[in-house]
Amino acid sequence: MKTYLSRQNRALLAELVRTDFKLRYQGSLLGYAWSLLKPLLLFVILYVVFVNFLKIGAGIPHYPVYLLLGIVLWNFFTEMTSQSLGSIVGRGDLIRKIRISRWIIVFSSSLSALINLGLNLIVVLVFAIFNGVSFSFSAFLLPLNIAEIYILAIGLSFFLAAAYVKFRDISYIWEVVLQAGFYATPIIYPLTQIPSVFVQKLLILSPMAQSIQDARFNLITHDAITAGALLQGMWIVVPFLLTAIFFLVGLKYFRSQSRYFAENI
């Protein structure tokens, strides 16, 4: 544990997080404002197309905030895994020059994404207040939903970062997976608009679908369908079990490959 909690590692972690956050928008005209504008612009496009034209979301209380929260949480997952994917290769010079704990590089990318999430959630809360959302005690459970997404994403990040060192095609495959995952997760459409209960149950088994629906239930409306309402018995723990599996497998694979990073980059 001393290796993980050393003062040197903490200082390096803080510097990497600052550097990642600064470089992300370096040279852009609006700079850090893109942290807020990107999800907002995507929200406007999806809201206009799917709500105004396709009439998706009818009957869902506070649907604009419902949609925005889903987009923000999915963007957090996407940003965290995508940024971490190339983090080891991107810090190849640093790995070859000095002896550091490799996990810090991936962890720093995840913290940078977490900062962005915090900024975006402020926007969600402002939208919720202006939209007349009545917050209940369950809103205090939102950090648990975010923690679940983070654990899932960090596990995948460790796996992707290690795999990308040897297989550069991983980045293209992951882009396709994320695109498919976006439409397979009830972000734009409510689960109630899926006629088959079996398909509803199948979708909610995904950790991302389960955590996003739980977040909506806790923060926005208790009309949001959760895994607890759809699944019965041991099936309820499947999303959490999958999250734990992805985390442990990703961490184990990263540790097994980290000793070869310097020579393979």
Residue 1: pLDDT band (50, 70, 90) is: very low
98-147, pLDDT tens digit by residue?
777 888 889 988 888 898 899 889 889 988 998 889 998 999 999 999 99
- Tokens matching residue 193: 């608009």
pLDDT at 213: 96
pLDDT at 53: 66
Q: DSSP string spanning 7-60?
A: HHHHHHHHHHHHHHHHHHTTT-SSGGGHHHHHHHHHHHHHIIIIIIIT-TTTT-
Residue 126 CA from chain centroid, whole number: 21
Rounded (10°) angle between helices 63-85 and 207-219 = 140
Residue given tokens 């459970």 in the structure block: 141
Q: Is residue 23 pLDDT above 80, yes or no? A: no
Of 102, 215, 98, the closest CA to residue 150 belongs to 215
- What three-state secondary structure class fits 261? helix
How much of the chain, in percent, has pLDDT values that exceed 90? 46
Residue 217 or 119, more confident = 217
CA atoms within 13 A on the CB side of 117: 24
Residue 97 or 244, more confident = 244
Rounded (10°) angle between helices 63-85 and 170-184 = 170
Residue 31: pLDDT band (50, 70, 90) is: low
Query: d(Cα 248, Cα 154) in Å, to the nearest integer?
Result: 10
